[in-house]
Amino acid sequence: MFVASATLLSIVSFQFEAVKQHSAPSALKKEGDKDEMRNVEKGLTKFPLPFSRLKWAITFPKNNSRSQNSQHKLYTDLAWIYDRIYPRIFDYKGLYDTLAGFLEANSCRRILEVACGTGRLMAILEENGYEVTGLDLSQEMLDIARTRCAGKLLRQDMREMRVEGSFDALLCLGRSFGYMLTDDDARRALEGFNIALRDGGILIFDSFDAEVTRRYKFGVLREFVYEFEDMKITRRSKSPGYNETDITWFVEWEYIIEDGERRVIRDQTKLRSYDKSHLQEMLLDKGFEIIRQIQGRELTLVARKVGMPRKEG
């Protein structure tokens, strides 16, 4: 595993561009590599590239994580791509089936979905009789969500939530918590989660698992192909390594869209993983107790609101 130095990764964002002479293998596996990504229709082609065959450019990212991630093209200019390919990445119906038992057992009917994206899970919840409010930072994602969801949609940053009413349950899934790049980000989000919930309300959220990140094979170019009747979308991604201090890393994507024309769009962002013990400390500090961990590649926790958040300082 290539692990970049903490100092270097805290200063620079690596961008990569594979040399034109390199091409991906033409044959794709019928089934995807489940360790890397599930429910990908055409599967995964994974091939390592020596660093000598990559062109590296170095850019200096803004320190403000909100401004950086709000410019993440996948959630703005490429929101329509997100809406098309993510049903091949996430099993939304299967996710609902997993959640339903927790929601029913805790008499949850009013739900706040934070980072609701284009509303695919929210729509399934509504179809099953739940009253759902969706919240997301991206207006482009919310515009798509409005085409399939009846409930209220709010454009807010999860770190600065101002939500009226006390919800029975709050969901923050799809590893969206991975954009909380600092402990301050995480604590502010968890405090907002607490305030939005009724006493005894349920929080279900997930994050990248730091244990998995430490074992992850960085420095490998990964390619996913999604074929539709009217187009083909190829998604490539690569990250050079992670910061050992805070378990953050930069990743760059390349999207190749073929629909009679061929377009190449590049995107990048920064993400973070969390250790369960660290999340548990912050949850306790913000008035939650963990009642269960849902097994999976992500770190998915179910917590109950047991008190009000402790104020900083």
pLDDT of residue 71: 66
pLDDT at 303 over 70: yes
The model's confidence at residue 72, banded by pLDDT at 50, 70 and 90, is: confident
What pTM did the predictor assign?
A: 0.79
Confidence bin at 35 (pLDDT 50/70/90) = very low
Q: Give the single-character DSSP code of 245.
A: T
Tens of pLDDT, residues 126-149:
999 999 999 999 999 999 999 999
- Tell me which amino acid residue 14 is: F
Is residue 282 within a helix (H) or strand (E), and if so which, with residue range? helix 276-285
Q: Which residue has the tokens 């940053």?
A: 157
Q: Is 125 exposed, middle or buried (0-12, 13-18, 19+ CB in 10 A)?
A: buried
Contacts for 271 with CB less than 8 Å, ≥ 6 apart: 175, 178, 179, 181, 208, 248, 249, 251
| % residues pLDDT > 70 (the chain) | 77
Q: Cα separation of 220 and 272, whole Å?
A: 18
Confidence of residue 313 (pLDDT cuts 50, 70, 90): low
Question: How far, CA to CA in Å, does 241 sit from each of 204, 218, 250, 297?
Answer: 29, 5, 8, 19
At the fourth CATH level, which superfamily is domain 88-207+275-305? Vaccinia Virus protein VP39 (3.40.50.150)
Higher pLDDT, 136 or 57: 136
Domain locations in the chain as residue ranges: 88-207+275-305
43: closest CA among 55, 35, 33, 51? Answer: 33
Instruction: Report residue 118: phi and psi, to 5°.
Output: -90, 10
Q: Which two tokens stand for residue 187?
A: 């604590």
Q: Which helix (H) or strand (E) is 92 found in, with range?
A: helix 92-105
pLDDT of residue 311: 73
Per-residue pLDDT band for 25 (boundaries 50, 70, 90) equals very low
The interaxial angle of helices 276-285 and 183-196, nearest 10 deg, is 50
Contacts of 258 (CB under 8 A, 6+ apart): 231, 232, 233, 234
In the predicted structure, residue 98 carries a pLDDT above the cut 90: yes
